[in-house]
Structure 1
Amino acid sequence: MTEADAKRAETLRHLMEVGRNHSAVTVMFHSAVAAKQGLNATEEKTLDHLQRQGPLTAKDLAELTGLTPASVTGLLDRLESKGFVRRAKHPTDKRRVLVEPNQEKLAELAVFFEDWARDIVEACEEFSTDELNTVVRFLSVMSERQRAAAARLTG
């Protein structure tokens, strides 16, 4: 193994370690935010999808979350009973239902992310725009790979 190969292997090992650490603290953060509103992490991340993408069908949510249709039904029942979503008739397909987020309830969650958003902006000040673009590219690739890995596990 060349010195360059050894250095790359060590960097990849370190990246995996840091990535696992980041994943763990991310899950703990979202679990803590969710708990503040009587939600679990899956419910909170489902609301994130609805907030970012607008009303979705249960099928859309199953694809985004990797949950089975039966699990999505239970998830939506819980979110609806807690007042976070409502089911509405689909405007063009009477057989389908759209899940709409309750914007007032979502605003209650947003408060918990305000400090974190400020922390992100502050932390990013030490990186150049090119470095941040590399991070964006890396995270985008890793998100797609992880989405595919989750699909393999649930499919």
Structure 2
Amino acid sequence: MDFVLSQEPDAQRRRRRTGADIKRALRELNNQVALLNHQVGSRVDLRPVDLDCLDVITLHGPLSPSELARRAGLHPATMTGILDRLEKNRWVVRERDDGDRRAVRVRTLPDRARELFVLYGGMNESMDDIFEDYTEEQLATLADFLQRASTAGFDATTALAEL
């Protein structure tokens, strides 16, 4: 019995160390994606915040400007300037909502999205190669972890924005 109890602190220590390794790897991934986004943005003349908002619209749109501001953690007045730039450069279009003529929805324009798809092609191909090293079950676990981590990030961003 003493042997089992003495191993528990080691198991907990290993678990904490592995958790710290994962957090460190996520930070490094965040840095690398930020650098990739900087390169992509510079090629298509998009500011980092514009590229971030464009991605939110692509993932979750069409969205109202206020919903986009909430999801991006930005003030609505800031969002107006971002949307003006994105619309001027034909990345997005603002459309009236059929149900409420006063309401506006923002959606991406597919032609410009293809430009980004090409620029992110190298990363997408590398990710596909990495996926080959994992079983379907492992990929499902990774997808679940990343979705939950993304939700935690969204919740933390929302909490900070409300302060």
* TM-score normalised by length of structure 2: 0.87
2:26 to 16, 19, 22: 19
Shift of 1:72: 0.9
How many equivalent residue pairs?
155
Identity %: 26
Residue 31 of structure 1 pairs with residue 30 of structure 2: no
Rg larger in structure: 2
1:86 to 93, 107, 123: 93
SS class of match (1:67): coil
User: Partner amino acid for 2:40?
Assistant: V
Runs of 4+ in 1 over 3 A off after TM superposition: none
The residue aligned with 2:148 is 141
RMSD: 1.5
2:73 to 66, 85, 99: 66
1:125 to 127, 132, 148: 132
**Distance in 1 between the 2:60 and 2:148 partners?**
20
* TM-score normalised by length of structure 1: 0.92
Does the 8 Å contact 2:58/2:107 carry over to 1?
A: no
Q: Equivalent residues in 2 for 1:94-133 (5 A)?
A: 94-133=101-140
**Distance in 1 between the 2:19 and 2:55 partners?**
31
